[in-house]
Structure 1
Amino acid sequence: MAEDQEPATAEDRAAVSAHRLADADVEARLARLDELLERVEGVAGPTAEAALEAVRGLTQVYGEALARVRDLAGPQLTGALTGDRLLHHLLVLHQLHPHPVERRVADAVEGVRAVLAQRGADVELVGVEAGVASVRVTAKGCGSSASAVEEAVRETLLAAAPELTAVQRVASAPAPAFVPLTDMLPTAAPAAGAT
């Protein structure tokens, strides 16, 4: 099989797929890489500096490769790239994502709403300004569940748009008080001559 051709048989495709990582494996490897980079950053000396420079260089080269893929992709493929969790993250990391931060935040809010609804909570995007996403979060239950909902929303939005500097909760507007209709109607003036 030539290198520039698709795998021709089901066996060939299965062999290629066997070398792929599941999302859980990717997450585990990313977490491990973060740990290793933190350890390298904590070590002083030329070896640590060289290791960090090598990581930066690889990141730049892979970022350029991803930029070229995105440039060659049409709208349909670009949509598929942004729909993949890992590729979405890499496009954001390399500042190649085709959607602006406001749209990514709005999409993330819509995506997390279904999950929150199952827990009796909701989130509404108020806006994004100066790198801060403002949200209105409503949650039923005790304060600890409300803070867990807020943290889940914060993590979701920062994953979709890591260039945000903060996610802040905006207080919900108080529900209007009930005013009886009779209090809103003008009162009749006493009839002339009545005492």
Structure 2
Amino acid sequence: MAVPPDLADPPDLRVDFEQIFNAHFTEIHRYIVRRLSDDVADDLAAEVFLAAYRGGYDASRGGVRPWLYGIATHLIARHRRTEIRRWKALSRTAERAEHSPEDAVLSRVAADQLTGKLAGALAGLNRRDRDVVLLSVLGDLSHAEVAAALGIPAGTVASRLNRARKQLRKALGDVNPLEEIHG
């Protein structure tokens, strides 16, 4: 049975997309894991590349990497409530005393790479500021790449990052928040 013309892919598009997928899947997946969790990352990373495939790459918007991070960030925003609940849970987990072996395991697993105090501080940021911080730190994107990923001016990235750093530093008691995230 023949594939309908609207579902058939031109051979050059398949090759280009395959190259994009192979070059960037692991990095995008890792970013999503660090923002959400392993449980969500597989499905969400697949959604990123499905959306990228369907939307097509427009070279006039900048590099492929920021474009994919932009799609990932947009999809993560859909999971914002879950993400914020996770940050708050990490914060509570770090604050409570460990009363049982289950609590100790939960604390170690939940803390993963972020301390509870930092998770609470991140949850306290507005979504736009948190996205800029996490794209910069977890995605290791430059200001220009963050700007391209979010479709905002580079100056806006700088101001959001500056504001977020001040808020995080205050919430963490003058600890450098970027050292905590990279921890």
TM-score, normalising length: structure 1:
0.26
Task: Provide the TM-score with structure 2 as the length reference.
Answer: 0.27
Which is bigger in relative contact order (C-alpha 8 A, separation at least 6)? 2
Structure with the larger strand share: 1
Between Structure 1 and Structure 2, which shows a larger proportion of helix residues?
Answer: 2
| Greater radius of gyration (CA) | 1
